Amino acid sequence: MSNPYLELDKKIVSEIYTSTEPMDNLKVLCDVHGSRFPGTPGDLGSVKYMVEKLKEYGIKDAYYEPFKIPGWKRGPAKLSITSPIKRDFDCISLPHSITGEVEAKLVWLAEGAVEVYEKRKEEIKDNIVMVSSANPPGAARSLHRTEKFMRSILAGAKGWIFMNQYPAYGPQTGGISPIVPSIGICYEDGMFLTRILERAGEVEVRIKTTDKNMNVTTYNVIGDVPGTLNSKEYVVVGSHYDGHDISQGAVDPASGAVVVLEIARVLSLIKKDLKRKVRGMCFGAEETGLFGSYAYTSMHSDDLENIRFMLNLDAGGGAGRKGVTLHDHPELEEFMKKAAQELKSPFPFGHRVGPYSDHWPFYLRGVPCGSGGDIEAARTTQGRGYGHSRYDTVDKVELENLWKAASNYSRFLLRVANSDKWVARRKTQNEIDEFIKKQGYNETVQLADKVKEYVKTWDEIHPDTIEWINRKGDW
Ligand SMILES: [Zn+2]
C-alpha cells in the first residue's frame, strides 16, 4: 500500500523526535505557572506564555480570548468527628463549595449507586453523606461525582464528603455546585470513618468550609496554522490547560496542551503542504465545568459549521497508545483504517461518547469530533489514579509519550485537513438528543434542574446558591 504522505511523515516525525520542546513547555507551564486554575496569576501567565510560543513557531496572529466564568477561591477546611470520639482529619474543600458549617450524622453510601439515594432518603435527610469516588460495581454507565452530589442533595444531604478510592494519593478534588459545605478526604481517613460507623452504629461529624465563589476572567488560546486552499473549512485540535488548584495538573491537562503546541509547531513547518487551516486551541476552565469550550462554541457559534473535525487531547501526552476515540462516526471507518496503516505506529480507534471533556460542547452542536487515547485500554482501566490530586506532577510525564502523541496526532490531523473526500457527517439535533437520552446523560442535566427547584423550598439558602440557581446560559 502506498503512502502519499510518506515524505511529509518523515519530516514531521524526525522534527518531533529530535526536539525536547514539549517537555520544556510542560516544565514552564507547571513549575512556573502552577495549577493555572481560573483567575490565578498563573492562569494569565501561562496563557501569555503559550501565545508567545505559538508566535515563535511562526503563528504570528496567535492570541487569547478572555471570558467571564463563575470562579472559586479555596479557603481552609476542617472535618472533625464529634461523637463517639473526637478527632480532626485533613480535608480539602471541593471547588464551588460554599462557606459554611454543618454538624450531623454521617451516612456512608459506599460507591453511591443510582438507587441508593432514594432508598436511604430517610437517613440522608439533614445529614452528611460520604461517598467514594469509585464507580458502583456492575453499573451500566460511569457515575460522575456531580451526579452523586446532586442525588445526595435531592435526598436532603446538608454536607458532602467525597472519599478518594485510591490509597496513598491523599484527597481528590473535583467541582460540585455551591449548595452545601463539600469536602474531599483521603481513602485512609474515609475507611477509618466507616470502621467507627460500623462499631458505634452512629457517628457525628462536623464540616467547616471557608471558600469564596466569585466571577473571574479566564481565557482560550487560539493559534491558526493556515491552509493553502482558500477554504472556510478548518480543523480544531485542542486541550484544556487549566489544572485543579491543588495540583500541577501535569498529565491532566498540561501534557495535552503541550502536545497541541507541538502539533502547531510541526504543522507550521510544513504549512505549504497543508490544505486546510488547523486551529490549535488551549481551553481554560475545563475542570470546573467545561467553561472554555462552552465559551468558544458560544462566542463562535456562526463559525462552527466550518469545523471539519475537532480532536480533543485532554491529558493527551500521558501514558498509553495514541489512538482516537471517535464520538460516534462509523462513516470515518475507512479513513481511520487507512490513516492507521500509513502512520506505521499503534493507532487504536473506535467509537464512544462521554460528556466530561472539551469535545462535548462541540458534540452538542453537531461538530464531528473525537478524543485522543486508547479505546481498547480504556475498557479495562478505570478511574483517574493520581489525577485530580496534588500528585499529578511534572515527574509523571515522559518525553517519549509526548513524542508519540505529537507524532501520531499531527500526522492524523494533516490527513484530516488534506482529505478531499471528507465524509464525516454532522449530527442532527434529533440524533444528539436521542443519543443523550439513550446514554442517560440527560439525567445529570435534569438533575440540576430538579435540585434547583428542590433547594428553592429550603428556609435558608446560601447567597452563592441563589446566584447559581439564577445563572443563565451554557457557561
Ligand atoms: Zn482534563
| pLDDT value of residue 404 | 98
Distance from the alpha carbon of residue 35 to the mean position of ligand 1, in angstroms: 12
Distance from the alpha carbon of residue 289 to the mean position of ligand 1, in angstroms: 11
Domain ranges of the chain: 6-71+215-429, 78-210
Distance separating alpha carbons of residues 238 and 359, to the nearest angstrom: 9
- CB-based burial of residue 378 (10 Å sphere; 0-12 exposed, 13-18 middle, 19+ buried)? middle
Distance from the alpha carbon of residue 250 to the mean position of ligand 1, in angstroms: 10
Distance separating alpha carbons of residues 8 and 28, to the nearest angstrom: 30
Distance from the alpha carbon of residue 205 to the mean position of ligand 1, in angstroms: 32
Distance from the alpha carbon of residue 314 to the mean position of ligand 1, in angstroms: 5
Alpha helices in 80-137 (DSSP H): 116-119, 121-124
Distance from the alpha carbon of residue 64 to the mean position of ligand 1, in angstroms: 20
Distance from the alpha carbon of residue 388 to the mean position of ligand 1, in angstroms: 9
CB atoms under 10 Å from CB of 233, counted, come to 16
Distance from the alpha carbon of residue 175 to the mean position of ligand 1, in angstroms: 12
Distance from the alpha carbon of residue 294 to the mean position of ligand 1, in angstroms: 15
- Considering the four listed CATH numbers 3.50.30.30, 3.40.50.2300, 3.30.70.3270, 3.40.50.300, the one that applies to the domain covering 78-210 is 3.50.30.30
CB atoms under 10 Å from CB of 64, counted, come to 18
- CB-based burial of residue 467 (10 Å sphere; 0-12 exposed, 13-18 middle, 19+ buried)? middle
Distance from the alpha carbon of residue 249 to the mean position of ligand 1, in angstroms: 8
Could you tell me the CA-to-CA distances from 109 to 19, 112, 447 in Å, in that order? 49, 5, 19
Q: Phi/psi at 217 (nearest 5 deg)?
A: -100, 135
| pLDDT value of residue 200 | 97
Distance from the alpha carbon of residue 152 to the mean position of ligand 1, in angstroms: 25
Distance from the alpha carbon of residue 55 to the mean position of ligand 1, in angstroms: 25
- Is residue 401 within 8 Å of residue 319, measured between CB atoms? yes
Distance from the alpha carbon of residue 368 to the mean position of ligand 1, in angstroms: 20
Q: Amino acid letter at 27? A: K
Distance from the alpha carbon of residue 13 to the mean position of ligand 1, in angstroms: 26
CB atoms under 10 Å from CB of 228, counted, come to 13
Comparing CA positions, the residue from 416, 334, 414 lying closest to residue 370 is 416
Distance from the alpha carbon of residue 460 to the mean position of ligand 1, in angstroms: 35
- Please work out, in degrees rounded to the nearest 5, the angle formed at the alpha carbon of residue 94 by the alpha carbons of 90 and 138: 95
| pLDDT value of residue 231 | 94
What's this model's pTM, rounded to 2 decimal places? 0.94
Distance from the alpha carbon of residue 72 to the mean position of ligand 1, in angstroms: 18
The string over 66-75, giving b where at least 16 C-beta atoms fall within 10 Å of a residue's C-beta and e elsewhere, is ebebbbbbbe
Could you tell me the CA-to-CA distances from 78 to 173, 350, 383 in Å, in that order? 15, 45, 26
Distance from the alpha carbon of residue 371 to the mean position of ligand 1, in angstroms: 11
Distance from the alpha carbon of residue 470 to the mean position of ligand 1, in angstroms: 27
Structural element, H or E, at residue 280: strand 277-283
- CB-based burial of residue 333 (10 Å sphere; 0-12 exposed, 13-18 middle, 19+ buried)? middle
| pLDDT value of residue 382 | 59
Distance from the alpha carbon of residue 311 to the mean position of ligand 1, in angstroms: 14
Q: Amino acid letter at 370? A: G
Comparing CA positions, the residue from 297, 260, 257, 299 lying closest to residue 278 is 260
Mean pLDDT for each consecutive 10-residue tract of the chain (475 residues)?
A: 94 98 98 98 98 98 97 98 97 97 98 96 98 93 90 98 95 95 98 98 98 97 97 97 96 97 98 98 96 97 97 96 96 97 96 91 97 84 77 96 98 98 95 86 82 94 95 68
Distance separating alpha carbons of residues 41 and 63, to the nearest angstrom: 18
The SS3 assignment for 203 reads coil
Distance from the alpha carbon of residue 242 to the mean position of ligand 1, in angstroms: 8
- Backbone angle region of 393, left / alpha / beta, with phi > 0 → left and psi within -120 to 50 → alpha: beta
Distance from the alpha carbon of residue 469 to the mean position of ligand 1, in angstroms: 26
Distance from the alpha carbon of residue 413 to the mean position of ligand 1, in angstroms: 21
| pLDDT value of residue 334 | 97
Distance from the alpha carbon of residue 253 to the mean position of ligand 1, in angstroms: 5
Distance from the alpha carbon of residue 421 to the mean position of ligand 1, in angstroms: 32
Distance from the alpha carbon of residue 291 to the mean position of ligand 1, in angstroms: 12
Residue where the block lists cell 461523637: 83
Strand partners for 325: 350, 371
| pLDDT value of residue 196 | 98
Distance from the alpha carbon of residue 204 to the mean position of ligand 1, in angstroms: 35
Distance from the alpha carbon of residue 228 to the mean position of ligand 1, in angstroms: 33
| pLDDT value of residue 379 | 65
Distance separating alpha carbons of residues 105 and 128, to the nearest angstrom: 6
Distance separating alpha carbons of residues 15 and 233, to the nearest angstrom: 27
Distance from the alpha carbon of residue 125 to the mean position of ligand 1, in angstroms: 33
Strand partners for 213: 72
Class of the 6-71+215-429 domain? alpha beta
Could you tell me the CA-to-CA distances from 393 to 35, 43, 250, 254 in Å, in that order? 10, 17, 5, 10
Distance from the alpha carbon of residue 357 to the mean position of ligand 1, in angstroms: 7
